[in-house]
Structure 1
Amino acid sequence: MIKIEAVVRPERVNVVLEAMVEAGCRGYSYYNVTGRGQQQGVEVFTGRGGQVMSRASVPKTVIVTVVRDDQKDAVIGAILSSARSQGEGAIGDGKIFITPVTEVVRIRTGERDSAAL
């Protein structure tokens, strides 16, 4: 089993989730975060005078799912194609982190591993 954590632009979340479901992902969680990566923040307009301020961190959304090993490539491909900006993509599109999961237990029934997914 594989845990996939995708950090994406908040405006792309619904498109990414739809693509993940189409790729066979049955469950996921997501939460909003604020952080900074290669993008190094953004400039924003504030006030009526059109002042420009630098914002050190930007809003992102983290999507988390655990899938079977044989689903890994399909789910990652779905995230890549749906989260990437048009063309070659852009700085700030996000990242995907993949880690192995050694065991899963469903609390309600005690089922383990693939049966618990």
Structure 2
Amino acid sequence: MEVEICNCNNIDNGSVSISEGFLNIKYAINGTGKSTISKAILKSVSSKVSGNNELLELKPFKAISDGGGMPAVDGCEAISSVKVFDESYINDFTYQPDEFSLEMRTMIQ
């Protein structure tokens, strides 16, 4: 599926291909918009559930004062859930401090 992203942080207009039912990994040098793409898709999907327009958080700084284009994501209407491999994901799904301490105490005894 093709996802169109407009007016989100540093992305004026762009598209990204996503394969349904597969792990999608996007890589590029820093500052090219990878995090913005993932946040835009995540906020678009979350907005459908919450009823809030969470995409407004990604409004470009240059558009705040002139009332320029509103953030928009099209093409991900079929997506019902998104997981972004970021710090929050790591904190939720990997070692928790207590788990490590418990494992170490068990090994030492």
- Pair in the same fold by TM > 0.5: no
TM-score by length of 1: 0.26
Q: Name the structure where helix makes up a greater proportion of residues.
A: 2
Larger radius of gyration: 2
Q: Name the structure where strand makes up a greater proportion of residues.
A: 1
